[in-house]
């Protein structure tokens, strides 16, 4: 298995162009299942999670052509309605295919996604919302067998937590349902709006995406369409934090600054100078990073949980103590033990982590525990004096396209072997 080796302690500087958002392309690929025709999707990131989603589409009977960053999916002739266990295991978030497959095929059969690297990932909100739309769900030996007869029926759905995946699943199921579906307490992440934009271009009628009430007027059929995926705000946050920790300068090209507001506010508190133009965000790091008293991860528009680990790594060498309160995923702090190998001082208690800034980090031998934790290790390694070896980098491949190439172009000494 491949490893990454980084010789740290060097400033990184320059500019990088963001990839399309991982968390947009995955539900959009699931949405192509609803379209009896071609979906041409531009700005697709080269990620293993995207490959996994493409394998699911091909298993269902779709014809998928990838040309550079454009993926064309033709779902005119779908034959299957199941997702094999091996594909579900490759990408736990493939649960988002459930609403789309059930809506298109009248039935769906998938294995229960079970636990993932961030701990148990329940799907109760997905299942109860889909059941409200008329999907009958039976679980047998870990397989969810679902059917809805001829059609799903629109209704009012109340989510008790603004789950991103559950909101997407209901949108996918509601688009061709009979009547009107209203989601109360919907997730407001930019990727939800991107999914709605894609579907509306294909003839859906979804109103209110980006707010906590989304109304979906059922449409009988969707048509071929073309769409460009929004830039990845978490990739942007990662490169900004990586630059801040090395004392460098960066311009992130192709960003949507409004999506980065909570991350930029933490970076500013840490003493970074930020400037924003129409489609770019620039950062100049301070000589010494300052502590950030408290960062609380929250659903959008709060501070994103996915940016927590990268910014935690950045704050390990800040002047003073910072605190993280993780409100979304209980196992985010699994990466803390690996960060401690660099000499970081981090204390955790349940959902709270206190990071006591140290003068410097030293290179270490570490392994990724999850995708964003892996990014935190890369950031710590860039700051650390000496050589770091990072293993289990398949986690990074799930969410960062061309990571080593991008960092090398910014002046980092980084090798993948």
Among 19, 43, 163, 246, binds ligand UD1 (CB under 6 A): 163
Smaller CB separation from ligand UD1, 82 or 370: 370
The helix/strand/coil state of 346 is strand
30 forms part of the interface with ligand UD1 (CB under 6 A): no
93 forms part of the interface with ligand UD1 (CB under 6 A): yes
Contacts 24+ apart (CB under 8 A), 300-305: 300/187, 300/188, 300/189, 300/190, 301/188, 301/261, 301/262, 302/262, 303/262, 303/263, 303/266, 304/233, 304/234, 304/237, 304/262, 304/263, 305/329, 305/332
The answer to whether the bond into 322 is cis (omega within 30° of 0) is no
- Of the residues 75, 116, 148, 272, only one is catalytic, namely 116
- Window 285-314: contact mask with ligand UD1 (x via CB under 6 A): -------------------xxx--------
Shortest distance in whole angstroms from residue 23 CB to ligand UD1: 3
Shortest distance in whole angstroms from residue 4 CB to ligand UD1: 21
Q: Which of residues 179-238 bind ligand UD1 (CB under 6 A)?
A: 187
- Told to judge if 75 belongs to the known catalytic residues of this protein, a careful annotator would answer no
Q: How far is CA 270 from the centre of its chain?
A: 24
Residues facing 280 on adjacent strands: 253, 277
The helix/strand/coil state of 255 is coil
> How many residues line the site for ligand UD1 (CB under 6 A)?
20
139 forms part of the interface with ligand UD1 (CB under 6 A): no
Q: Which region, judged by CB under 6 A, interacts with ligand UD1, from 163-171, 240-248, 263-271, 318-326? A: 163-171
The helix/strand/coil state of 381 is helix
| Count, residues in the chain | 417
Whole-number Å distance between alpha carbons of 168 and 173: 9
CA distances to 9, 39, 304 from 322, rounded to whole Å, are: 22, 45, 17
161 forms part of the interface with ligand UD1 (CB under 6 A): yes
115 forms part of the interface with ligand UD1 (CB under 6 A): no
329 forms part of the interface with ligand UD1 (CB under 6 A): yes
Shortest distance in whole angstroms from residue 327 CB to ligand UD1: 8
Distance linking the first and last C-alpha atoms of the chain? 9
20 forms part of the interface with ligand UD1 (CB under 6 A): no
122 forms part of the interface with ligand UD1 (CB under 6 A): yes
Q: Which region, judged by CB under 6 A, interacts with ligand UD1, from 124-132, 138-146, 210-218, 241-249? A: 124-132
The contact set with ligand UD1 (CB under 6 A) reads 23, 26, 93, 121-126, 161, 163-166, 187, 304-306, 328-329
Show which residues are catalytic.
116
């Amino acid at each position: 298995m491949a490893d990454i080796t980084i010789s740290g302690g060097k400033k990184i500087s320059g500019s990088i162009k963001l990839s399309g958002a991982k968390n947009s392309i995955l539900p959009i690929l699931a949405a192509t299942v609803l379209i009896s025709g071609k979906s041409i999707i531009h700005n697709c990131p080269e990620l293993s999670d995207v490959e996994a989603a493409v394998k699911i589409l091909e298993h269902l009977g779709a014809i998928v052509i990838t040309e550079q960053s454009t993926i064309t999916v033709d779902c005119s002739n779908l034959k299957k309605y199941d997702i094999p266990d091996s594909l579900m295991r490759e990408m736990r978030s493939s649960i988002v295919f459930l609403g789309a497959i059930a809506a298109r095929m009248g039935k769906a059969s998938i294995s229960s996604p079970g636990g993932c690297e961030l701990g148990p990932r329940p799907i109760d909100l997905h299942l109860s919302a889909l059941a409200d739309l008329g999907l009958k769900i039976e679980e047998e030996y870990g397989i969810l067998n679902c059917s809805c007869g001829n059609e799903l029926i629109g209704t009012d759905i109340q989510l008790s937590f603004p789950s991103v995946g559950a909101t997407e699943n209901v949108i996918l199921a509601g688009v061709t349902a009979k009547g009107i579906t209203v989601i109360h307490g919907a997730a407001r992440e930019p990727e939800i709006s991107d999914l709605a934009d894609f579907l509306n271009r294909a003839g859906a009628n979804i109103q209110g995406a980006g707010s906590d009430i989304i109304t979906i007027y059922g449409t009988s059929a969707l048509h071929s369409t073309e769409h460009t995926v929004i830039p990845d705000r978490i990739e942007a946050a990662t490169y900004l934090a990586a630059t801040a920790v090395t004392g460098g300068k960066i311009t992130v090209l192709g960003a949507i600054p409004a999506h980065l507001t909570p991350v930029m506010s933490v970076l500013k508190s840490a003493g970074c100078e930020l400037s924003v133009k129409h489609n770019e965000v620039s950062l100049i790091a301070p000589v010494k990073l300052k502590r950030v008293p408290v960062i609380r991860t929250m659903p959008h528009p709060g501070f994103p949980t996915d940016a927590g680990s990268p910014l935690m790594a950045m704050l390990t060498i800040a002047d003073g103590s910072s605190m993280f309160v993780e409100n979304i995923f209980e196992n985010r702090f699994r990466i803390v033990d690996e960060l401690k190998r660099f000499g970081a001082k981090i204390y955790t208690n349940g959902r709270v982590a206190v990071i006591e800034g140290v003068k410097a980090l030293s290179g270490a031998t570490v392994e990724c525990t999850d995708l964003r934790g892996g990014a935190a290790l890369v950031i710590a390694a860039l700051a650390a004096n000496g050589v770091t070896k990072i293993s289990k980098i398949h986690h990074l491949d799930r969410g960062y396209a061309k990571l080593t190439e991008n960092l090398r172009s910014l002046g980092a000494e980084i090798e993948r072997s």
